[in-house]
Amino acid sequence: MQEKLNKLKDQAIRELSLVKNIKQLDDVAQKYFGRKGGDLNNILKGLKDLDPEARKEIGSLANEIKEELEAAVEAIRQTLNAKEVESKLESDWLDVTLPVDTNLGHLHPISIVQYELEDLFKGLGFKILDGPELESDYYNFEALNIPKHHPARDMQDTFYVDNSKNTDKWVMRAHTSNVQVRAMKEFGPPLRAVVPGRVFRCESTDASHDTTFDQLEGFMIDEDISIANLIAVMKVMLSAIFKRDVKVRLRPGYFPFVEPGFELDMQCLICGGKGCSVCKQVGWLEIMGCGMIHPNVLKAGGIDPEKYSGFAFGLGLTRFVMMRYGIEDIRHLNSGDLRFLKQF
Ligand code: FA5
């Protein structure tokens, strides 16, 4: 039995010396110490059949050999692990002197024009304001002189949010005009501000209509503000953005929150006024609604309409961008299509 054990030990040592990787090491360890069928374990199991004297002697030798071999396996495992790490480091090296990839993307065309407009209006003494996209029915409609159930709500139909805990309805804002009364309450007169932002409409899409688009609201409130101030600001804005003569026309338009109200159209720059799918074959595209702020809206904002007057406009920023760059379908702008976006 002693001889058998010593032979087993020599054989195990020989096999361990030939091991090249962890997998082979595990196989050898399994062969000798495996719970089921491991050679050394089988000998240890057979000890119970020996007489007590022999069991003691052979048992202590077998344990000695087992400990020795286990220590050898552990030592070889550590060496192999260290070698593996070393070779991984060699193959995974990184050249920190290579040039950095500078293709980091750029601004979306809507942001480009929005920031240009913000700079322009800052120069004219306007504040740049922000407002909530999820808005109360009050600021989106009622404060703007559009009572509940009034048919004028259909002009800016939007998405209503079910808020069963609260009796007041919430809507995705249909226009940036929701910030008018908020700003009047916060800052009071005199006030000049523009409000860029995303708005939402429940309507069918086509080349010039989307359900999510951007507007830029603007308003100026002071003593003696008139339509002449509105037209002057429009002219400055158009020539700054288009840097050339663009044909515009102002026609009467109905918005419950202005009186009088207008709509400003631009001659379509996609077709040069000949007619196309963007301008629905009429040669003109509606770019903004505007007018003199209704006295009821000034009152809702805590401003005395006897003393102050003001103009307001709501520019369709997305359509403005289409005209600036000659984009023939509004749906490209929210598509996330890199083939389109990389052109700007
Ligand atoms: C309004 O949203 C008013 N709040 C504008 C206003 C502000 C009037 C202040 C008076 C005083 P309107 O629904 O017409 O108005 O939208 C304004 C502009 O947004 C339009 O002239 C158009 O350029 C753009 N627009 C409207 N609907 C869409 C749409 N579905 N997709 C893309 N652009 C749109």
Among 91, 118, 153, the domain-final residue is: 91
Domain that holds residue 38: 2-91
Q: Is 109 in the pocket of ligand 1 (CB under 6 A)?
A: no
In a mutational test of the pocket of ligand 1, which residue from 135, 230, 237, 255 has the highest number of ligand atoms less than 8 Å from its CB?
255
Binding site: residue ranges?
Answer: 259
One-letter amino acid identity for 2?
A: Q
Same domain for 336 and 228:
yes
Cβ(212)–Cβ(226) below 8 Å: no
Do the beta carbons of residue 278 and residue 318 sit within 8 Å?
A: no
Binding-site annotation: residue ranges for Mg(2+): 259
SS3 236: helix
CATH of the domain at 307: 3.30.930.10
In a domain, residue 104? The reply is: no
Which residue has a Cα nearest atom 19 of ligand 1?
Answer: 316
What averages of pLDDT result for each successive group of 10 residues across the chain (344 residues)?
A: 84 90 90 79 79 84 87 91 87 85 88 97 97 95 92 85 73 97 98 98 94 98 96 90 86 96 93 93 95 98 98 96 94 94 92
Answer whether 290 contacts ligand 1 (Cβ < 6 A). yes
The answer on 209 and 249 residing in a single domain is: yes
Model confidence pTM above 0.75: no
29, 165: one domain: no
- Cα 98 to averaged position of ligand 1 atoms, centre (Å): 50
Q: Which of 46, 63, 91 is the last residue of a domain?
A: 91
Site to probe by mutation for ligand 1, drawn from 139, 175, 229, 313 as the one with most ligand atoms within 8 Å of Cβ, is: 175
Question: Is residue 101 included in any domain, yes or no?
Answer: no
Does one domain contain both 227 and 160?
yes
Total count of domains within the chain:
2
Which residues are CB-contacts of 88 (< 8 A; sequence separation ≥ 6)?
none
Q: Are residues 114 and 87 in the same domain?
A: no
- Whether residues 39 and 137 fall in one domain: no
CA distance 120 to 128: 11
Going from the C-alpha of 287 to that of each of 261, 278, 283, 319, the distances in angstroms are: 14, 12, 13, 7
In a domain, 337, yes or no: yes
Is residue 170 located within the same domain as residue 294?
yes
CA of 243 to the centre of ligand 1 (A): 23
Q: Which residues have C-beta within 8 Å of that of residue 112, sequence separation ≥ 6?
A: 344
| Atom nearest to 293 CA in ligand 1 | 11
Q: Is the CB of 291 under 6 A from ligand 1?
A: yes
**Are residues 169 and 258 both part of a single domain?**
yes
| Residues 43 and 167 occupy one common structural domain | no
Whether the CB of 294 sits within 6 Å of ligand 1 = no
Q: Could you tell me how many residues make up the chain? A: 344
Residue 207 Cβ inside 6 Å of ligand 1? The answer reads no
Indicate if 138 and 77 belong to the same structural domain. Answer: no
Whether 193 is in a domain gets the answer yes
Q: Is 285 in the pocket of ligand 1 (CB under 6 A)?
A: no
Q: What is the model's pLDDT at position 166?
A: 66
Domain end (from 91, 118, 151): 91
